[in-house]
Amino acid sequence: MKAPERYYDFQKDISGCGVFGVINTKRELIPGSMPIQAMCTMHDRGNGLGGGFAAYGIYPDHADKYAFHIMCETQEGLDSAEELIKKFFVIHESQPIPTKPTLAIKNPPIVWRFFLSAKQGGDRPKWRTNDEKDYVVNVIMHINKKTPAFVFSSGKNMGAFKGVGFPEDIAEFFRLDEYQGYIWTGHNRFPTNTPGWWGGAHPFTLLDWSIVHNGEISSYGINRRYLCEHDYECTLMTDTEVVAYEIDMLIRKHGLSLRMASWVFAPPFWDEIDRMPEEQRKAFEALRMVYGPALLNGPFAILVSDGTCLMGLNDRIKLRPLIVAESGSNVFMSSEESSIRDVCRELDTVWAPKAGEPVIVKLED
């Protein structure tokens, strides 16, 4: 799409962070207390300007509905978002996200959730021929752009919970100890140059994908322009957003596997590619030629999930910590081993994945 007027003149937030993730490969439910405790251990990796969690398997009763989590400063804003949602979706349930007044959380926005199914074909006001996921993504972007409300979670049987505060305070505010899920990710944020904004906290989600990220994407300027060419407009003032959109584009639209996408984010170096057998050399050369603008350059450790797997990935020269550990059917990924040991003292294996090499843990089913 054509870049919006003055698209170059953006404010971007820079942040350091702590991340934690856990997946139970047998889909056994893990209570929210575990990731909360793990994030508490890494309290000092944040500065109270952002915390959040994503959980999969939390809405089994509405597993086939899109669960939209929406935040807005004002009731009017929320109403305008609801108007739009009514036009584009069938609303099955609409309710406030349960919260609890928490001393540490000042001036929270209104948080609301909808369980929705997408209107089909002729019932849609716009984008009639789009496939359903494209349609949902378009509507999300539309709401985020046209209304003061912000959709911060949109997958099925999953949800993101985030805001300004330490993760443990956010967890208390959203009553996350009352949820159970088979995959959890958590994030503690240390932004350095912007006042906290609830929408800017992690995880970032789009459809079922959720991302938590520790690092600074120095290639953000080009990633953002590249995504704009592919009709993704970055509006959230933070670099993690581009990871979410790139995953959506590469996997959903271009049909790449998660493994291939991770190679786009952190491709092998040329001297390694030059030593590969002919077929692979050609494949990686093509990957870097075509997807070079999507390379995530700069320090990062990211945890990505779509509800069927959990992936941990470091940048090409491992400039951020990332530890993986296994215990029975639980696999943990974290910025610090201490946070894993704190919630699971006995571990079968613990290792630090190599730079640029993803760890992808899939559900057994």
Q: Is position 17 annotated as part of the catalytic site?
A: yes
Nearest alpha-carbon partner for 69 in 126, 127, 112: 112
Tokens 């049987």 correspond to 157
Does residue number 44 form part of the binding site for other proteins (CB under 8 A)?
Answer: no
Cβ closest to other proteins, residue 239 vs residue 306 = 239
What are the tokens at 81? 């978002």
What is the Cα–Cα distance from 244 to 261, expressed in whole angstroms? 12
Cis peptide before 203 (omega within 30 of 0): yes
β-pairing verdict for 359-362 and 309-314: antiparallel
Cβ closest to other proteins, residue 27 vs residue 288 = 288
The backbone region for 237, taken as left when phi is positive above 0, alpha when psi lies in -120 to 50, beta otherwise, is left
Does residue number 1 form part of the binding site for other proteins (CB under 8 A)?
Answer: yes
What are the tokens at 298? 């700069």
Does residue number 277 form part of the binding site for other proteins (CB under 8 A)?
Answer: yes
Q: How many residues bind other proteins (CB under 8 A)?
A: 58
**213-252 residues near other proteins, rule: CB under 8 A:** 215-216, 218-222, 224-226, 228-230
**13-32 residues near other proteins, rule: CB under 8 A:** 14-16
Nearest alpha-carbon partner for 261 in 216, 302, 200: 302
**148-207 residues near other proteins, rule: CB under 8 A:** 192
Shortest reach from residue 47's CB to other proteins, in Å: 13
Of 17, 72, 234, 344, which is the active-site residue? 17
What is the Cα–Cα distance from 33 to 19, expressed in whole angstroms? 16
Among residues 141, 319, 347, 350, which is the contact residue for other proteins, using CB under 8 A?
A: 319
Task: Using CB under 8 A, list all residues that contact other proteins.
Answer: 1-3, 6-9, 12, 14-16, 192, 215-216, 218-222, 224-226, 228-230, 253-257, 259-260, 263, 269-271, 276-277, 279-280, 282-284, 286-293, 295, 297-299, 316-317, 319
